[in-house]
Amino acid sequence: MSFQNTRNKLKLYFWFTKTELTQYIILTLVLAFIYSFKQWGETTFNFWFGFWNLLIAIILVGITVFIHHAGQRITGIQKGFKVEQKNSWPLLILGLAICFITNGNVRFLAGSGTSIKHLPQHRIGAFRYATRLSEIGQIMLAGPLFNVLFAIIIAGFGWALIIPPGIAQMLFSLNLWFAVCNLLPIPPLDGVHLFFWSRFIYVFVFTSITAYAILTLILPAYIFVAAIAIGAILAYLWSTKYDN
Which amino acid makes up residue 65? V
Q: Is residue 211 part of a domain?
A: no
DSSP code for 82: E
Q: Is residue 93 part of a domain?
A: yes
Q: Is residue 122 part of a domain?
A: yes
pLDDT tens digits, residue range 191-207?
999 999 988 889 989 98
Q: Is residue 176 part of a domain?
A: no
Q: Is residue 16 part of a domain?
A: yes
Domain containing 70 equals 2-162
Secondary structure class of 86 (helix, strand, coil)? strand
Q: Is residue 235 part of a domain?
A: no
Q: Is residue 204 part of a domain?
A: no
Name the domain count of the chain.
1
Q: Can you tell me the distance from the alpha carbon of 68 to that of 41, in angstroms, rounded to the nearest whole number? A: 30
What length is written for the chain?
Answer: 244
pTM: 0.85
Q: Is residue 181 part of a domain?
A: no
State mean pLDDT over 78-104: 92
pLDDT at 123 over 70: no
User: With bands split at pLDDT 50, 70 and 90, how would you rate the model's confidence at 239?
Assistant: low
